[in-house]
């Protein structure tokens, strides 16, 4: 059965002749039905929004058009929040967000909505994308990743129009909408070097974010928060920093790695962490994959400790190559 609050909103919107509210409510109904796997009925609801007074379809529904686009890639989440090593504040904030989304009906009974806008900042390779995927996994919804190469156009107004289609598509389903490298479309409008077009894109983008229903969780990530428009910051109820890992976090990563893979490396997590300080989580994971790869190829008699030492030596030399003339690491 459809949610009573949505049916009531639908009747109120129709009685007032409020077409904008009527459309939003139908989209929310479609998203609710899609979450119950009633996809055919959900598609029918959206299709009716594009039928004229004579019963003829005015245009192809945006949801159908987006699937053939695509401006987004739908990802089935495989990362779990429990698998990630997060700062305590970030882990707590994410768990609160998930609880609010799961108990949205209780909040709505008190005229409250769950939070649904998350800004992630920090250097590359430290879990921003993984966290977005983990949130989608915890909510049991798909992760929609925006494809900038398809969205950003060269003609006036093209980018804003395509972004509008992205948001229109997202509003018809429960999902996590993820913008990586958000500074590509959310740049500071006061920057004298930017064109009028990017300023219009930012203005349109902020309006679209404001209009998102709470069942769509939008997560944006940036490696360069200093480039973001000032108005972007206040749009997001949750703002989290994911910094480079500290030694204790790297040690914890290796403890989990040994448990997950069943390989005892013969080198203590502390020893490895001390020598791999300065690497991102993505690089540490790549290091671990290198070890597993060599163990697999060496067969059942593999000397795990020797392999770990060899791979570590290679990575230490790799770090030296990254060092510039001043002796500082990139």
pLDDT of 60-76, one tens digit each? 444 434 433 478 999 88
Angle at 264 between CA 258 and CA 269, to 5 degrees: 65
The answer for residues whose C-beta is within 8 angstroms of residue 43's C-beta and 6 or more apart is: 30, 61, 63, 64
- What are the pLDDT digits (tens) for 242-259? 999 999 999 999 999 999
Residues 251 and 232 in one domain: no
**End position of a domain, from candidates 194, 224, 241:** 241
Residues 37 and 129 in one domain: no
**pLDDT for 184:** 79
The helix/strand/coil state of 73 is strand
Q: What number is the average pLDDT over the span 133-137?
A: 96
Residues 77 and 225 in one domain: yes
Q: Report the b/e string of 79-99 with b at 16+ CB within 10 A.
A: bebeebbbbeebbebbeebbe
Q: Do 150 and 73 touch, CB atoms closer than 8 A?
A: no
**pLDDT for 151:** 85
| pLDDT: which is higher, 113 or 61 | 113
Does residue 330 lie within any of the structural domains? no
**pLDDT for 195:** 58
Residues 300 and 192 in one domain: no
In the structure encoding, which two tokens stand for residue 268, read together?
A: 């203590």
The helix/strand/coil state of 33 is helix
| pLDDT: which is higher, 195 or 80 | 80
Residues of the chain with pLDDT > 90: what percent? Answer: 52
Q: What number is the average pLDDT over the span 45-60?
A: 53
**End position of a domain, from candidates 184, 216, 241:** 241
Residues 110 and 212 in one domain: yes
Domain that holds residue 284: 247-321
CA 117 distance to own-chain centroid: 10
Considering its fold, how many domains does the chain have in total? Answer: 3
Of residues 17, 79, 281, 33, the one with CA closest to residue 174 = 33
* Threshold 0.95, pTM exceeds: no
Q: Do 29 and 6 touch, CB atoms closer than 8 A?
A: yes
- Across the chain, what does the average pLDDT equal? 83
Residues 184 and 259 in one domain: no
């Amino acid at each position: 059965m459809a949610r009573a609050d949505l049916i009531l909103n639908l009747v109120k919107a129709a009685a007032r002749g409020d077409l904008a509210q009527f459309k939003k409510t139908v989209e929310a109904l479609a998203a609710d039905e899609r979450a119950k796997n009633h996809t055919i009925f959900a598609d029918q609801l959206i299709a009716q929004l594009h039928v004229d007074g004579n019963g003829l379809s005015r245009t192809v529904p945006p949801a159908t058009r987006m699937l053939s686009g695509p401006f987004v890639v739908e990802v089935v989440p495989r990362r779990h929040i429990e698998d990630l090593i997060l700062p305590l504040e970030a882990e707590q904030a994410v768990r609160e967000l998930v609880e609010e989304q799961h108990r949205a009906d209780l909040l709505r009974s008190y005229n409250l909505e769950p939070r649904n806008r998350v800004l992630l900042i920090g250097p590359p390779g430290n879990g921003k994308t993984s966290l977005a995927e983990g949130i989608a996994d915890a909510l049991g919804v798909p992760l929609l990743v925006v494809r900038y190469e398809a969205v950003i156009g060269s003609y006036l107004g093209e980018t804003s129009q395509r972004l509008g289609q992205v948001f229109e598509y997202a509003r018809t389903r429960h999902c996590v909408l993820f913008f990586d490298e958000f500074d590509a479309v959310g740049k500071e409008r006061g920057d004298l070097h930017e064109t009028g077009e990017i300023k219009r894109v930012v203005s349109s983008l902020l309006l679209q974010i404001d209009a998102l229903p709470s069942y769509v969780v939008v997560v944006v990530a940036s490696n360069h928060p200093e480039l973001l428009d000032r108005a972007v910051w206040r749009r997001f109820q949750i703002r989290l920093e994911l910094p480079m890992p500290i030694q204790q976090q790297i040690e914890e990563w290796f403890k989990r790695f040994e448990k997950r893979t069943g390989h005892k490396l013969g080198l203590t997590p502390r020893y490895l962490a001390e020598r791999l300080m300065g690497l991102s989580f993505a690089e540490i994971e790549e290091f671990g994959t290198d070890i597993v790869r060599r163990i697999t190829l060496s067969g059942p008699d593999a000397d795990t400790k020797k392999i770990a030492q060899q791979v570590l030596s290679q990575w230490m030399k790799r770090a030296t190559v990254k060092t510039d003339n001043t002796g500082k690491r990139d």
